[in-house]
Chain A
Amino acid sequence: MKLAAFLSQHGGEIFQATLEHVWLVALAMLLAIAIGVPLGILVARRPWLSKPILGSANVAETIPSLALFGFLLPVPWLGDRADRVAIAALTLYALLPIIRNTATGISGVDRSVREAARAMGMTERQILLRVELPLSLSTVIAGIRVATVLTIGVATIAAAVGSGGLGEFIFRGLAMVNNPLIMAGAIPAALLALTADFGLSLLERKLRPAR
């Protein structure tokens, strides 16, 4: 099949699926950041929580993604709509790198800097917002970057529960033994992942504290 003909036939559909894909990933990432960063701060503050929190996130990470989507289907409210299931599962996957990097970043702030901040009479909140988070931002972004790339990939599997996105093409292509159709899902997904990786790496480098 000629590329041009293929694109003219499926171009609109691919574009639509890409938007759906971006939407799923973006929502899942927002949720994962909103949950993961505070958990990471908690882990850095209370090291004894590190095992239970990172352990749970680790377990979520090891559940095969297809199974995780399946497990979430019968959950009330979540299971009512496929995109909810997809977003919840993707959020769970994205948590581990975000929690881990936030905790690493905050614990990695130079002790003398933290001590100086306390001794200057900064409150715990000021130390967190003005010193610790700014200094660990690049590490946090690195975690978000890993999580985003991962989520873009896993989100293709979410099509199995009918959430839409680029995975639709892949599953359809697999069922019809139609390689171009698989490519129509795989290539835009790969491009999305590369773009996100590159964009976030730039941000990460920009925010890295000078030494």
Chain B
Amino acid sequence: MSSEPNHPPGNQPIIEFQKAHYQLSNGKVLLKEVNFAVPRGETLVLLGRSGAGKTTALKLINRLLEPSSGQVCVEGRSTVDWDPIALRRRIGYVIQEAGLFPHYTVEQNVSLVPRLEKWPADRTEVRLKELFALVGLDAPEFRSRYPHELSGGQRQRVGVARALAADPPILLMDEPLGALDPLTRGEVRSELHDLQKRLKKTVVIVTHDIAEGLLLGTRIGLMEAGELRGIYSPDEFLHATEPIAAAYVAQLKMIQEAGEQK
């Protein structure tokens, strides 16, 4: 990533929240008039505790939810003006525990969107090879396995491959590493980091893990109680005065110091 942000004038953000508000039918507000924009190619990490509204924000992008007021624009168009199917096919989605289809093999899972898009078989095959190489699952024996025959880390890699299958310009990840043990988590995290550098996609990641945020994000959006409290570069975040940001950083330092003392 270059140190200077490169936003040529007229280059509109690929995702833009404009006073996006979301509340449940019982009146509970999950997202309070949030404004932010994600330029093309950025990796925005939404960081916050459970219930902060991160997942709600993510689901507004691919219209799994629709804003109660305000709007969310993708490629300059409000999500409610998009055909939801067309919109979602342009947005990869990775969730915790991968959400793989248990009755599909790895190959069937990954090739799902190309099949929905009716790609010719040879094009799908070429793409499958690329994808399996990309996520480090190129051994042929994986293809015919079912999700329950894989480890958690392998499942998560399959989930990433599935999300990337039709080469969508946007990738959304909801706690992609949440269900993994710490070591696997570290491995998959650095793989994601590499992947991101190679693919140059626009990525929005939801996490409550500050380390994940600092490593993967080009910017970090701090969320609390349905509000966006600020957007920081990783460097800015480490020195932010916002109390919650400071609390995250303090946690991180405590772990570091505990390590140094031993």
Q: Identify the A interface with B (CB < 8 A).
A: 110, 112-113, 115-123, 126, 131, 134-135, 209-211
Known: A119-B62, A121-B89. A112 touches B102 (CB 8 A): no
Known: A126-B116, A210-B148, A211-B148. A117 touches B101 (CB 8 A): yes
Nearest CB in chain A: distance from B211 CB, A: 24
Q: Place the interface of chain B in its size category.
A: 20 to 34
How many inter-chain residue pairs (CB < 8 Å) link A and B? 62
Q: Identify the B interface with A (CB < 8 A).
A: 62, 64, 84-89, 91, 93, 95-103, 112-113, 116, 146, 148, 162, 172
Given A116-B95, A116-B101, 13 extra CB contacts under 8 A? A112-B99, A115-B64, A116-B98, A118-B64, A119-B62, A119-B95, A120-B88, A120-B112, A120-B113, A120-B116, A122-B116, A126-B116, A135-B103
Q: Could you say which residues of chain B place their CB within 8 Å of the CB of A118?
A: 64, 88
In angstroms, Cα B91 to Cα A135, docked, is 25
User: Would you give 27 A-B contacts (Cβ < 8 Å), ordered by A?
Assistant: A110-B102, A112-B96, A113-B99, A113-B100, A113-B102, A115-B64, A115-B95, A115-B99, A116-B93, A116-B98, A118-B64, A119-B88, A119-B91, A119-B95, A120-B89, A120-B113, A120-B162, A121-B86, A121-B87, A121-B116, A122-B85, A123-B85, A131-B101, A134-B103, A135-B101, A135-B103, A209-B103
In angstroms, Cα B98 to Cα A117, docked, is 11
Q: Could you say which residues of chain B place their CB within 8 Å of the CB of A209?
A: 102-103
Q: Could you say which residues of chain A place their CB within 8 Å of the CB of B97?
A: 112
Q: Could you say which residues of chain A place their CB within 8 Å of the CB of B88?
A: 118-121
The reply to whether B148 and A116 form a contact with Cβ atoms under 8 Å apart is no
The reply to whether A112 and B89 form a contact with Cβ atoms under 8 Å apart is no
In angstroms, Cα B150 to Cα A211, docked, is 11
Nearest CB in chain A: distance from B204 CB, A: 13
In angstroms, Cα B101 to Cα A135, docked, is 9
Q: Could you say which residues of chain B place their CB within 8 Å of the CB of A120?
A: 88-89, 93, 112-113, 116, 162
In angstroms, Cα B87 to Cα A131, docked, is 20
Q: Could you say which residues of chain A place their CB within 8 Å of the CB of B62?
A: 119
Nearest CB in chain B: distance from A111 CB, A: 9
